[in-house]
Structure 1
């Protein structure tokens, strides 16, 4: 049943508010059938972001009816721009400072034991005949009382992820100042409410993200408003030379009398035929009705040779535009537009090691999803640049997917993903009230279903979401799963779904979640007898990932930087969880690379370990694609605050070992080494096959670089597939630490993939001891030979720069002029000033590269001039055995 337009279905005690709702939807001059004027009403949408203040309700004695009067004094309140959580507002007002540094967050008191008033004033559009005014709240956490100009619109708006909307026509003051007052009740700690939850990823926010976190909108329409347009696209698979488009849009009657409206939809794309459809609809008083245009009734919605939306590395993410409008008596009453993609995701099942796993296809082609788990800032602060950088980094690492485990509602991220061809994997969060649904109250059932309704409406319009998870670690109860699926069907959700993503709780989940969540040596990913190895489909798994020294120095005070102690641990996982330390990772560093003696030494070695770990992680999953593996999510993509646990890039967007290891593994055409079997694979992640290739494998002793073995074989890399090209034989007489160099060349001899491994005659050996978050290591590889590499001061560097439109590209050339020594693990960086920090965000065409004697390479770095902060750019170059140098970028 569709809800009346003045209140969201999650809200309780509807009968109690029936009189109020009727009063709010009354418009002047109604009596029988509504006869609208031909004069056009104002149609528009204004974000109410400025002119707000907030304060603890403990210090406010006036009621909402008074606070929501124009002119009410907010002297002593904190000014705030919306959206904002309570803590974000307090930090913006310097009530709490540097809360991400050291253990300062511990000094912020619990902010959830009190309510919080948010108050703002705005000017409404002038009155026009048949003008309707709507207030729309995209996110309030967790419940609220809402007042407008002394009138209570809602006594109990509940649900962080539920959109709350009100027809405020009779309470608004057209053409004049209006006042809104919102009394927010925070969510409970320990994820006991159906709100946002970061589980054990970091400390809980002291306010549990209470506040007005989503956009607040004043929308103006005529007597009929439109909501939630959506285009369902169906292809005649396996053919893709046509598409059936079905257009849906909700029409709402803002009046208490019947209204007849003409609803129209137009689909456009430059270079393609325009499609237009319309129909007349008579809406009963206050009715909300879905209007449908399908190919059966509108043959023009069957289109031929459409431009398809393809994910990254598969093709271009082409988008169309849908424009919808409602007219009444010849006047425009409302308009809504969206961009959408013509594409179709389907799923299939394959059995591996006795378990059924889900795989996906896009437009009839197998698609191996690979990505990371995204989380927004702990205080839910983001902006266009932040969102764009996440998408940019995901693409740069060769990933094609972002998983949203409960971090739903950043709609700009969806828009950017649509345009970039990045797939979105959304769903509800684990380990919280969302999964303790066998004890839900009636209100919680309503909140959960309203949350799904709101979030699916936002997601379904986008090309990027390819599926939906109803649950994470555990599936919902049968009754709630049925409720969810009925809602998805009612909303025409066309993408595949899974009940949850963990086979340990549901044998038919289709995805596994067997860990690990702590560091493991690279061999684990390849050994398919191990939990977490590269077989099947995984919803998440990952390792600790301390950021490089430059980032560590930003959030760990100098006195706490070494040795590793309580401050480091506070920036690991949630305190008092099994993730509140990085001991397992540190043991790996010390026992494989040699005992660390300082924060700088630790960082230098941990970068090596992060690189080899993330590279092998994705290589293993990619090399088994479609035969043993079907999709993978690294836990996590990024962090909610400066962290030493779970990320491919750190909070400050500094790309480091994990980032560049992932980038190497996921390059479009890649050559990879299997630590378990010694097989070498060519992985082609595009839809174009490559022939005439050759693969060369060479083994070198360390530190003298004497060649112990080499072979070259011809390679044909089939499209969208992994191909085993050779097996490295067991070798004897090697140095304890040695190099394996893999190179893939095209028919001209140009290197298309260059990959260097460092390993040991004493390999990593896993123990039999394991649990849900890790497998113990019995024997560690001896990689200390890297510390014996001769110092190489003979690296020559040069750099040039081009500037265009505020963006700079530095072209860096590095040449190893040593006749005998490798330049190992080189890290060129563009810094803001001589000796300054690396300019961030930044993209490099490659990094952490190694050069043999006489070799040269060219790397491009791209960044924004504004991110230099007025400093002149410099090129800083360092390496594992190369002294640090810095030269100006001309």
Structure 2
């Protein structure tokens, strides 16, 4: 099993006899190979790997690339295919999977030291590869997109000199037929199926003993958290052909806390890889890692070293958190659902399904923007359905207190496992081993899902769980996340996946509503017009047609259009008259939809609901379906609706029962609060009803505080304004709804992705709001460390008119595009006559592109204006 699961080690070993290990220290380094690479099709190239991997081999006519890179990413970088995300240009890229591809590069290896060993490591090759170094084949069949591959190349390397590495890649098959990355139906498949060296390529040097995969398992004496038992594990690898004795030293440390030293001496057999497990250490009063809104995500450090012959042979270090996730089950509506606790506290996980760029291009800035946006929306979780391997994202999640929910993907060879070949079974287990090793040490990882829509077969599930046991996996697991295929799954996946009116989330008699625990559900979410203009030509922006639908979902799927969303928009807000009108109404509909989604799940927490994932968090390319923020990081209605719903203390309206809830998502109780509900007519803002009640918002809980009664004399479209204020009168939560005396209703027709609406709310009264040119704005900035913070003050000086759904944006230049990524303390703001509010925006100075910042104001009933930021 170890041979099956462990990272492959070449037989090219350094022979050192026991007892004669040189006491002088070897060089311990790790170098990522990024530059100096070239890519070309293997078709028409008769040279073998033995030739291509010779130093000095000419790559004239090849495409220069930087690693990591997929095949298509490399070709796009060389303008072989241009602007492929615009319109339907992706269709012009031919199928790139019917041929092999060569990646070739040269690098200078570190000079040799006594007893030094050289390692070549690949974090991700898709799908299979032949690997050659300096004319020698290291592997004839390195298979598995998610499998790490490692080779001891000491006998092949040219120390202190130039070396040549060549990898012949065979792409995965289309239609998700290989155990690779798979985008199912949420966008077109990449023409190369993400073939290539998508993960890091590393050359490491160590002494005769190398260390791998350090890990600290943390166990708390729950419900108490005043102590912790920590068990340190690390694999030690003997790189020699003879037994060797090594001392493995470990230190657990954190600033302000006492350090904990550990040591163990072991003798490894020739070429042996062995797990070194230290006796558990007991820590009193540990500083715990907490998810966002629950506390600080505190991290400890583990440093590990191995000595051989009196000299340092290798070192490794990781950050880890002392925390413990546990699960429990509760039956709701006759089904058993999973709930989760962190450090003994109930936690409502709420998040979105993460998707990397279609060409798997990412960098630190991109990863950091995702984490920043997740946190800014008040979410605490990212789901990775098969998008495994972006390890920097895990590191950033650890530091931000964002939980990570990894697992395998649906609707592909991963779930069609009853007919796996012997190789596929091996690849699946090796993939799990690699990815669990990469995630198990992270404080942010709270759950692993072995399957998505369907569970693996019993035999494969048992094998998976054996891997987890062998790796001392410390977090809960689920067999899959869909009760429709497995009544005991613990999570449901009953849709919807297209737009529904807000009442659906609240009506717990309907599929997809906020009861139980859900692995995913979501809706179409067209982005703001400014983003649409970046990927569709003017003629394709309106009317909606083929090019628009090409960006909706996979062709031929039920998601290759946005008809349900558009039908809802036209019937509720009034038929759109053009691209601009469609976009402004889209922002309203996205806002109310995602706000209601998270409000319903949060308001039912721990009694009916236990966790939810919005499908999706972001998009792999410019998309009009499934995202909380768009491909360009421009925040829109869905983003700010989520942010509003998930604020730390929030007041929410139940569209189904007219109940009002106050949700406290922190571990600190709030007393002395007052909740107010007021109803206003449109367009004159005549007040028709108001009530106030005292509120104590218990920690980590939802409290029903009032019910809005039937009110007579309401206009067809009216406003519901909910507010929570503290004892000093300061606003804690301010939430405005627009609704109708003719409410949305749902029909009885339902399938796996939709419940068909029956009647629509009449929100067209919003179109009759008086124009309000009397919104004053000032904006000033402070710059520090490359970041700018802009303070925006908005004042509605009108004596009679509302300033509705106002969108302040910081733009790069007067009339330029919004600077992104950017965060605002609030947005899509509505101000009553005479009201004023202050909003802050934060962004990086570099993202202005040398332009001066301007504040642009847009709104549903205000003229667009722009003022310089002072």
Structure 1-normalised TM-score?
0.97
- What is the rounded CA distance, in whole Å, between the counterparts of 1:34 and 1:590 in structure 2? 81
Paired residue secondary structure (2:738): strand
1:623-651 Cα distance to aligned partner (Å, 9 max, x none): 00000000000000000000000000000
Counterpart position of 1:580:
560
How is 1:437-836 mapped onto 2 (pairs within 5 angstroms)? 437-836=417-816
Tell me how far apart the structure 1 counterparts of residues 712 and 409 of structure 2 sit (CA, whole Å): 50
CA distance in 2, matches of 1:7, 1:845: 46
Counterparts in 2 of 1:7 and 1:788: CA distance versus 1, 3 Å:
closer
Contact 1:233 1:246 in 2 (8 A): yes
Aligned partners of 2:307 and 2:314 also within 8 Å = yes
Counterpart Cα distance in 2 of 1:260 and 1:796: 75
* 1:308/1:343 contact within 8 Å kept: yes
Task: Verify the 8 A CA contact 2:6 2:433 in the aligned structure 1.
Answer: no
The 8 Å contact of residues 2 and 289 in structure 1, kept in 2 or not, is answered as: no
TM-score of the aligned structures, taking structure 2 as reference length: 0.99
Q: CA deviation at 1:7?
A: 5.8
The residue aligned with 1:879 is 859
Match of 1:177 among 146, 162, 186: 162
Pick the aligned partner of 1:201 from 167, 174, 186: 186
Question: Is the CA contact 2:4–2:430 (under 8 Å) kept in the aligned structure 1?
Answer: no
Indicate yes or no: 2:825 matched with 1:840: no
CA distance in 1, matches of 2:825, 2:207: 52
Q: 1:55 aligns with which of 31, 37, 40?
A: 40
Report the CA distance between 1:573 and its aligned residue: 0.6
Distance of 2:444 and 2:19 partners within structure 1: 41
CA drift of 1:4 comes to 9.3
Say if 1:5 and 1:758 are closer, same or farther in 2 by CA, change over 3 A. Answer: closer
* Cα distance in structure 1, aligned partners of 2:652 and 2:513: 16
Shift of 1:847: 0.2
Q: Does 1:25 align with 2:13?
A: yes
Aligned to 2:59: 74
Rounded Cα–Cα distance in structure 1 between residues aligned with 2:326 and 2:815: 51
Question: What is the alpha-carbon distance in structure 1 between the residues aligned to residue 501 and residue 28 of structure 2?
Answer: 59
Say whether residues 1:192 and 2:172 are aligned partners: no
- For the Cα contact (< 8 Å) 2:858–2:865, is it kept in 1? yes
Match 2:303 to one of 304, 317, 323: 323
- Look up the SS of the partner of 1:883 in the other structure: coil
* Aligned twin of 2:146: 161
Q: Number of aligned pairs?
A: 870
Match for residue 107 of structure 1 among 77, 88, 92 = 92
CA shift, 1:34, in A, is 5.0
Residue 354, structure 1, aligned to residue 334, structure 2:
yes
The secondary structure found in structure 1 opposite 2:3 is coil
Partner of 1:382: 362
Structure 2 residue corresponding to 1:343, chosen from 308, 323, 337: 323
In the TM superposition, what is the alpha-carbon distance from 1:2 to its structure 2 partner? 2.7
Deviates more, 1:54-63 or 1:204-213: 54-63
Contact map agreement 1:43 1:334 (CA 8 A) in 2? yes
Change (3 A) 1:68 1:564: same
SS in 1 for 2:339: strand
Unaligned runs of 5+ in 1: 10-20, 296-300
Name which of 225, 235, 243 aligns with 1:258: 243
Offset, 1:830 = 0.4
The answer as to 2:25 corresponding to 1:40 is yes
Contact 1:690 1:717 in 2 (8 A): yes
In structure 2, C-alpha distance between the alignment counterparts of 1:547 and 1:149, rounded to whole Å: 50
* Whole-Å separation in 1 of the counterparts to 2:320 and 2:338: 26
Q: Hey, what's the Cα distance between the residues in 2 that align with 1:876 and 1:4?
A: 59
Query: How many Å apart are 1:329 and its aligned residue?
Result: 1.3
1:236 paired residue among 203, 213, 221 = 221
For residues 358-398 of structure 1, give each alpha carbon's deviation from its aligned partner in whole angstroms, at most 9, with x where no partner exists.
Answer: 00000000010000000000000000000000000000000
Shift of 1:732: 1.9
CA shift digits 1:560-585 (9 cap, x unpaired): 11100001000001011000000000
CA distance in 2, matches of 1:525, 1:4: 46
Give 2:234's match in structure 1, choosing from 249, 255, 259.
249
Partners of 1:6 and 1:290 in 2: CA distance = 11
Superposition CA RMSD, Å: 0.9
Q: Secondary structure at the match of 1:162?
A: coil
| Deviation of 1:6 (Å) | 9.7
Q: Does the 8 A contact of 1:319 with 1:342 survive in 2?
A: yes
- Are the counterparts in 2 of residues 373 and 405 from structure 1 also a CA contact under 8 Å? yes
- Secondary structure in 1 matching 2:864: strand
Match of 1:410 in 2: 390
User: What is aligned with 1:217?
Assistant: 202
Pair 1:436-2:433 in alignment? no
Residue number among 392, 399, 404 corresponding to 1:419 in the alignment: 399
* Rounded Cα–Cα distance in structure 2 between residues aligned with 1:99 and 1:3: 42
Q: Bigger CA drift: 726-735 or 678-687?
A: 726-735
C-alpha displacement of 1:461: 1.1
Taking the aligned partners of 1:180 and 1:490, their CA distance within structure 2 comes to 34
Distance 2:253 2:18 in 1: 36
User: 1:859, CA displacement in angstroms?
Assistant: 0.3
Does structure 1 conserve the Cα–Cα contact (< 8 Å) formed by 2:14 and 2:117?
no
1:331 Cα shift?
0.4
Q: Is the 8 A contact 2:5 2:430 kept in 1?
A: no
Q: Closer, same or farther in 2 for the Cα pair 1:795/1:4, shift >3 Å?
A: closer
Aligned equivalents of 2:211 and 2:295: distance in 1? 33
Q: Is 2:103 the counterpart of 1:118?
A: yes
Give deviations 1:640-692, integer Å, cap 9, x for gaps. Answer: 00000000000000001000000000000000000000000000000000110
Contact 1:70 1:121 in 2 (8 A): yes
Establish whether residue 226 from structure 1 lines up as the match of residue 211 from structure 2: yes
Q: Distance in 2 between matches of 1:875 and 1:127?
A: 58
Q: Structure 1 residue runs of 4+, over 4 Å off?
A: 4-7
Secondary structure at the aligned position of 1:592 is classed as: helix
Give distance in 1, aligned partners of 2:144 and 2:19.
Answer: 34
| Cα displacement string for residues 583-629 of structure 1 (whole angstroms, at most 9, x for unaligned residues) | 00000110000010110000000100000000000000000000000
Aligned-residue offset at 1:59: 2.7
Q: Partners in 1 of 2:382 and 2:294 — Cα distance? A: 16
Structure 1 pair 531/224, CA: closer, same or farther in 2 (3 Å)?
Answer: same
8 Å CA contact 1:34, 1:258 repeated in 2: no
Q: Is the 8 A contact 1:5 1:165 kept in 2?
A: no
Q: Quick one: distance in 1 between partners of 2:479 and 2:134?
A: 45
Match of 2:50 among 56, 65, 70: 65
CA positional deviation for 1:33: 2.5
- TM-superposed CA distance for 1:26, in Å, is 4.0
CA drift at 1:294: 2.0
1:692–1:716 contact (8 Å) kept in structure 2:
yes
Query: Equivalent residue for 1:2?
Result: 2
Shift, 1:25, TM fit: 1.2
Return the alpha-carbon distance in structure 2 between the equivalents of residues 209 and 40 of structure 1. Answer: 41
